Amino acid sequence: MASVDMRVYDEIEALEAILIEDLAVKHDDGVPIIETVVHPSTGDQIDLQYVCVTLVVKLTPDYPESSPEVFLKNSRGLDDSLLSDIDLKIKEKLDRHVGNPIVFELIEIVREYLTKWNLPSGQCVICLHGFVKGDVFIKTPCYHHFHSNCLAKHLINSEKYYMEEYEKLPNWQRAQSLPYQQTCPVCRCAISFDVKTLEEAPPPIESINAPPFRLTAELKALQARMSAMLARQVERGGVVGSGDDGPPLLTISTAADNEEPRSSTSGAQRETNSDRVVPSTSTDNTPDQPYRGPYRGFNRRAKPGRRGRGAAR
C-alpha cells in the first residue's frame, strides 16, 4: 500500500467540511480517488441549475508533488466543445500549481464555467432545435432538457399510444397492466409534469424562424445511399418484411423429423414401418401438410398441459 502525504488527508477533511454529502472518496491501493458532482452557483435557487458534471480526481501516490489524473463524466446539458474548454483550463491549472493541494481549485474552475454557461447546449432531442435565449424549456430530475412545448407534445402522444395499446389487450391482461407513467424521452426515468402547463409554453424560437423544408442535393444523395443499403440488406436476408415471397424462414419440426434411420433396423422391419398407416386427425380427408401459418417457428405442442397452435381440438 502506497504511503500518502499527510497534506492529502488535510485537504480531504477540508473538502468534506465544505461539500458535505456532495463528496465521495474512494481508495485504490491506498491512494484516494475524489469524486464530486459540480453544479452552477445559483444560491438557494436549485431549480435554476440547468447543467452539471461529475469531476473525478485520481490522486497519484506522491501527490501533491505530481499532478493528479482528472476526468469529467456524466455531463448534463453540456456539449463537447464546452467540456474541452474545461479540460484545457484544468490542465493549465495543474501545470502551474505542481506541489500544492489543488482539488478545491479544480472544483471552482468547473463551477465557474457551469455558472457562466448555465443554459443547456446541444439540441432538444424531440424537435432537434437548439436552446437559445428566450426559449422556455424544462429540466427533468435526471438533468435532461427539453423545450416545454416539445415535452408536452411528447407526453400527450406517448399517453395516447399507451391507451391505444391498452385497448387491444384482453381483460385479464388489462387487470395486470400498470397505469400510464410519464418517462424521460432520453433515459426512461419516471417523471411527473403538468402537461397543460407545459403546453402553454411557446414553441422553440428556432422552429419559428426556421426556413421551410427543402429537399437539397445533399438529402437526395443521402436518400440514394440509404436505399442502396436497404436493397443490399434485403438481398442478404437481413430485412424481414410482410411482402416476402421466398421460402419460409422457419418451419415447425419435431424430434422425429430429424431422426435418421438406425443401421440396426432390418429390411423387414423397415418395410413394415413404411407400410404403417398413421391415422389422420383431419376431417376433410386431405393429407397432412406442413404448417405454414403466421406463427411458424413455435413449438406446436407449446407448453405441457396446453394445446399448441395447430394441434387437434
pLDDT (tens digit, 9 = 90+) per residue, 27-54?
888 888 999 999 999 887 887 888 899 9
Residue 130 is placed in which grid cell?
Answer: 437548439
Is residue 258 assigned to a domain? no
Is 239 part of any domain?
no
Task: Say whether both 48 and 95 belong to one domain.
Answer: yes
Q: Do both 110 and 205 map to the same domain?
A: no
The CATH number of whichever domain residue 200 belongs to comes to 3.30.40
- Same domain (yes/no): 145, 97: no
**What's the pLDDT score for residue 19?**
84
Task: Return the pLDDT at 246.
Answer: 55
Please tell me whether residues 149 and 64 are part of one structural domain: no
Residue 272 lies in a domain: no
299 is a domain residue:
no
Residue 174 within a domain: yes
**Which parts of the chain have pLDDT scores under 50?**
242, 263-284, 295-300, 302-308, 313
Chosen domain end from 156, 176, 209 = 209
Are residues 10 and 112 both part of a single domain?
A: yes
Q: How far apart are alpha carbons 267 and 270 in whole angstroms? A: 5
Among 116, 148, 166, identify where a domain stops: 116
Residue 291 lies in a domain: no
Q: Which domain holds residue 67?
A: 6-116
Instruction: Report the domain count for the chain.
Output: 2
Q: What is the pLDDT of residue 160?
A: 95
249 within a domain of the structure (yes/no): no
Cis before 101? omega within 30: no
In this prediction, residue 198 carries a pLDDT of: 95
Distance CA 84, CA 121 (A): 14
Domain end: 163, 187, 209, which one? 209
